[in-house]
Amino acid sequence: MGTIRRMFNPRRRDRSAVNLFHKYVIFFVNFIFILLGLALTVSGSYILVTTGKQVTSLMDFLFDPACILTLAGSICVVIAFFGCAGALRENTCFLRTYTLILSILFFLEVALIILVFVYYYVPDVRKSLKLYPEDLLQTAIEKYEDETAGDLKNLLDTIQKTLDCCGLSNNETGYLNWNLNKYYFCNDSSVGVLSCSVPFSCCKIKPGDSINILCGAGVLKKSDPNEVSDKIYTNGCLRGLQVWLDSNIWTFGGIILGILLPQILLVGFARALRDQVLQQKSKW
């Protein structure tokens, strides 16, 4: 008799355990990320196809913006698909996968932040862990002027101009890294046009001045950075990054929070929604 009364009395019906706010926040946020990921993937793929870019090494991949766009977009689409479909269809398997992937990404990002902190501010631990990114980045210097180095070259120029640095090492004589490049290499018998110079992106160019590709001519003949500091930036870019971090620590902290906090919220919402779906199913 009580069951019949509940069936015909709307006020007595059980409410759904699924929180619509959690459900549609996860759905719409991930739907936006699917669109963004698709845009990045299509843009990166288009650039790779039209330029005929061939990736032959890890350095080619890491220093190619098109490759990074394509990879980042693809990852974004896959992750967002699980979140979007999981929320819309109330699929606990998809929601669990989405939560797991976001959690893994979160811990990887935290690990990367810790490694950056250790590299710059705990030198003893850095040495014991053998953190020497200079060895990996050396290949980028060597390939800078190669015929197939278009994107890599532009990226290195952008990094050097943005961080006011020259070369990629973590010291005050980073500009000497350009001796690793066969076109800029400097010795007594060097006769090339670019020999003993550095790329124009290393130069201290005042607003309004025209760009001269030979503005750093002859600087590799000087091993003392004080002798060339009036013409070029002498810090390596790993040192330049440390200078930027020291000067913009609050900006860096804001960027980190802006990346990590939304992930924490989405993980919390996804786990809560999954529990709510399971709770609702238990009523059936």
Mean of all residue pLDDT scores within the chain: 86
* Whether residue 283 has pLDDT greater than 90: no
Q: What is the mean pLDDT of residues 101-121?
A: 91
Name the band, by pLDDT with cuts 50, 70 and 90, for residue 149. low
pLDDT of residue 1: 47
Instruction: Find out whether 160 and 237 touch, Cβ atoms under 8 Å.
Output: yes
Q: What is the mean pLDDT of residues 129-148?
A: 77
pLDDT of residue 91: 94
pLDDT of residue 190: 67
Residues in contact with 81: Cβ distance below 8 Å, sequence separation at least 6, in sequence order:
30, 34
Q: What is the mean pLDDT of residues 105-126?
A: 88
Instruction: Return d(Cα 265, Cα 26) in angstroms, integer.
Output: 10
Instruction: Find out whether 27 and 84 touch, Cβ atoms under 8 Å.
Output: yes
Structure tokens at 224: 């003392």
Instruction: Return d(Cα 265, Cα 32) in angstroms, integer.
Output: 16
Q: What is the mean pLDDT of residues 35-59?
A: 85
Structure tokens at 217: 């001519």
Q: What is the mean pLDDT of residues 102-118?
A: 92
Q: What is the mean pLDDT of residues 126-135?
A: 74
Q: What is the mean pLDDT of residues 184-210?
A: 85
Q: What is the mean pLDDT of residues 264-269?
A: 95
pLDDT of residue 14: 56
pLDDT of residue 146: 78
pLDDT of residue 30: 97
* Whether residue 17 has pLDDT greater than 60: yes
* Whether residue 69 has pLDDT greater than 50: yes
Residues in a beta bridge with 203: 232
Name the band, by pLDDT with cuts 50, 70 and 90, for residue 232. very high
Share of the chain above pLDDT 70, in %: 90
* Whether residue 10 has pLDDT greater than 60: no
Q: pTM above the 0.85 mark? A: no
Among 4-13, 63-72, 218-227, name the one with the lowest average pLDDT: 4-13
* Whether residue 151 has pLDDT greater than 80: no
User: How far is C-alpha 2 from the chain's CA centre?
Assistant: 60
pLDDT of residue 12: 46
> Greatest CA separation found in the chain?
104
Structure tokens at 237: 């870019």
Name the band, by pLDDT with cuts 50, 70 and 90, for residue 103. very high
Residues in contact with 237: Cβ distance below 8 Å, sequence separation at least 6, in sequence order:
159, 160, 163, 165, 166, 167, 168, 169, 174
Q: What is the mean pLDDT of residues 214-240?
A: 91
* Whether residue 4 has pLDDT greater than 60: no
166-195 confidence digits (pLDDT tens): 998 888 999 999 999 989 999 877 667 889
* Three-state DSSP string of 203-222: ECCCCCCCCCCCCCCCHHHC
